[in-house]
């Protein structure tokens, strides 16, 4: 839809552009949808501080300064709940608040929602042992520290490489252990631990 068309628009025409472009970030108001199972853990992933992400509001890439929880996307970058054939949301009645506020012709409501508190793993996960594990992983596998060590390779050489490899191994081994030891399904680890360091 062109900007000229959007200027005269007053309602959603179900073009699907917002759903195809990306998935929403969960606000704290969305937490009950997750705890009730309407949005299951397997359909979510965590972005951690320091992770480079595209800024949909201002444009460009930037490192995150806070943790975010997002709905997963398809390989093409669309929200996994977007039904391309029917041009509709599969969970429309329970869609995240960012989606409900989205109006491509007027971003006023969206910007108000966007400014409110975002959901974090501590909002979604109640198990104290799992929260301690998350904290240990965040300390051992900090994305900011990973970036620092990668940059340090040029002047610290082997010691920085060793540190990076230790971080990657810890992250990899923990993901392999969680389904067996903690009964966390493999597809839920990207919520619990964030995206694998090898992907980042």
**Three-state DSSP class for 155?**
helix
Handedness of CA 199, 152, 176, 130 (dihedral sign): negative
Tell me, what's the pLDDT at 8? 64
132-185 pLDDT per residue, tens? 999 999 999 999 999 999 999 999 999 999 999 999 999 999 999 999 888 899
What mean pLDDT do residues 85-110 have?
A: 91
Two tokens, residue 92:
């429309």
CA distances, 76 to each of 5, 72, 150, 194 (Å): 25, 11, 29, 20
86-103 burial, b at 16+ Cβ within 10 Å, e below that, comes to eeebebeebbbbbbbbbb
**Rounded to an integer, what distance in angstroms lies between the CA atom of residue 120 and that of residue 48?**
10
Task: Give the predicted TM-score (pTM) of the model.
Answer: 0.89
Strands 88-89 and 82-83: antiparallel
Q: Are 171 and 163 in contact (CB under 8 A)?
A: no
Confidence bin at 196 (pLDDT 50/70/90): very high
**Rounded to an integer, what distance in angstroms lies between the CA atom of residue 103 and that of residue 18?**
9
């Amino acid at each position: 839809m062109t900007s000229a068309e959007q200027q005269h628009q007053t309602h959603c025409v179900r073009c699907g552009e917002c759903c195809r472009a990306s998935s929403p970030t969960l606000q704290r108001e969305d937490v009950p949808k997750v705890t009730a199972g309407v949005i299951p853990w397997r359909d979510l992933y965590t972005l951690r501080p320091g992770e480079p992400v595209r800024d949909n509001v201002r444009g460009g890439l930037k490192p995150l300064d806070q943790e975010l929880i997002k709905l997963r996307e398809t390989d093409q970058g669309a929200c996994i709940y977007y039904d391309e054939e029917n041009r509709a949301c599969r969970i429309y009645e329970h869609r995240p608040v960012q989606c409900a506020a989205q109006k491509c012709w007027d971003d006023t409501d969206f910007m108000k929602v966007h400014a409110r508190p975002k959901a974090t793993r501590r909002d979604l996960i109640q198990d104290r042992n799992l929260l301690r594990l998350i904290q240990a992983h965040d300390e051992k596998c900090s994305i900011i520290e990973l970036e620092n060590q990668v940059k340090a390779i040029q002047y610290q050489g082997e010691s920085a490489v060793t540190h990076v490899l230790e971080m990657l191994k810890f992250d990899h081994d923990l993901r392999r252990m969680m389904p067996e030891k903690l009964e966390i399904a493999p597809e839920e680890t990207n919520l619990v631990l964030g995206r694998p360091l090898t992907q980042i």
